[in-house]
Amino acid sequence: AQSVSQHNHHVILSEAASLELGCNYSYGGTVNLFWYVQYPGQHLQLLLKYFSGDPLVKGIKGFEAEFIKSKFSFNLRKPSVQWSDTAEYFCAVNPNSGGYQKVTFGIGTKLQVIP
Amino acid sequence: DTAVSQTPKYLVTQMGNDKSIKCEQNLGHDTMYWYKQDSKKFLKIMFSYNNKELIINETVPNRFSPKSPDKAHLNLHINSLELGDSAVYFCASSQARIAGGPTDTQYFGPGTRLTVL
């Protein structure tokens, strides 16, 4: 079974600082990878996803993530965070096995951006 | 327009009661899911339905019974509620039931916060 590790559970940054959130997964085959964001009091929304092609994926609100297959990683980055980026960020993996979707989420990283 | 909606948003009840949470999606998707998010924010899949057919059941206690009257609705009924059932329950839907493509993105509802006293 696949698993997802998010290394930073709580990150505090000042506005304009750069962000990198780590995500590693374990699965022997091909995967689809996702980052979801949950703003305070809101539901999960898709930030970006990788399913094939260019391993550098650009998402909404200036976020990007890079899939490094050899490292089983899919780290999320943003060059300059804003106060409105304060939220919980979840990395997720879906094995591309041709079987039913069975997304596994990481435990989440709480990002707090200080004005 | 709400893509995936859930009712109620909050549910507070006593141990031993039976309760239901409803979910509806207007995206025309074939596949729907229930997830449980515990107090530590860990999100875990419970069930998946494709066109009213159960396709994933993640060893959830049989006190939890999903019901899908049609492919746009997936309700969750919980019998004999226990303290450990307190969590946020999220419904989600996707166009594809098979993993591995651009259509396997899941769209989430706003969640139902269940508190069992």
Contact B105 A107 (CB under 8 A): no
Which positions in chain B touch A60 (Cβ < 8 Å)?
none
Kindly report, residue by residue over A27-59, the tens digit of the pLDDT: 888 888 999 999 988 889 999 999 888 999 999
Helix or strand or coil: residue A62? helix
B61: how many CB neighbours lie within 10 A of its CB?
Answer: 13
Question: Does residue A90 contact residue A44 with C-beta atoms inside 8 Å?
Answer: yes
What does the CA dihedral A108, B5, B30, A92 come to, rounded to 10 degrees?
0
Contact B100 A103 (CB under 8 A): no
**Whose CA is closest to B19, among B28, B27, B10?**
B10
Is the pLDDT higher at A79 or at A3? A79
**For A6, which residue in chain B has the nearest alpha carbon?**
B42
Distances from the Cα of B98 to the Cαs of A39, A92, B2, B106, in angstroms?
A: 28, 16, 24, 12
Report the pLDDT value the prediction gives residue A23, as an integer from 0 to 100. 96
Report the pLDDT value the prediction gives residue B57, as an integer from 0 to 100. 81
Using CB atoms within 10 A of its CB, is residue B13 exposed (0-12), middle (13-18) or buried (19+)?
Answer: middle
**Of A67-76, A85-94, B45-54, which range is least confident?**
B45-54
Is pLDDT above 80 for B96? no
Question: Does residue B31 contact residue B101 with C-beta atoms inside 8 Å?
Answer: no
Q: Which of A44, A51, A107 sits opposite B101 (nearest CB)?
A: A51
Q: Supply the mean pLDDT for chain B.
A: 89
Greatest pairwise CA separation for chain A in angstroms:
45
Contact B97 A101 (CB under 8 A): yes
**Whose CA is closest to A26, among A74, A60, A80, A98?**
A74
Report the pLDDT value the prediction gives residue B98, as an integer from 0 to 100. 62
Report the pLDDT value the prediction gives residue B67, as an integer from 0 to 100. 92
**For A107, which residue in chain B has the nearest alpha carbon?**
B42
Put simply, whether B102 touches A (Cβ < 8 Å) is yes
Q: How is residue B78 written in tokens?
A: 């919980």
Report the pLDDT value the prediction gives residue A43, as an integer from 0 to 100. 85
With helix as H, strand as E and coil as C, how does B73-93 read?
EEEEEECCCCHHHCEEEEEEE
Kindly report, residue by residue over B27-64, the tens digit of the pLDDT: 999 889 999 998 888 888 999 888 888 888 887 889 99
A108: how many CB neighbours lie within 10 A of its CB?
Answer: 25
Report the pLDDT value the prediction gives residue B99, as an integer from 0 to 100. 58
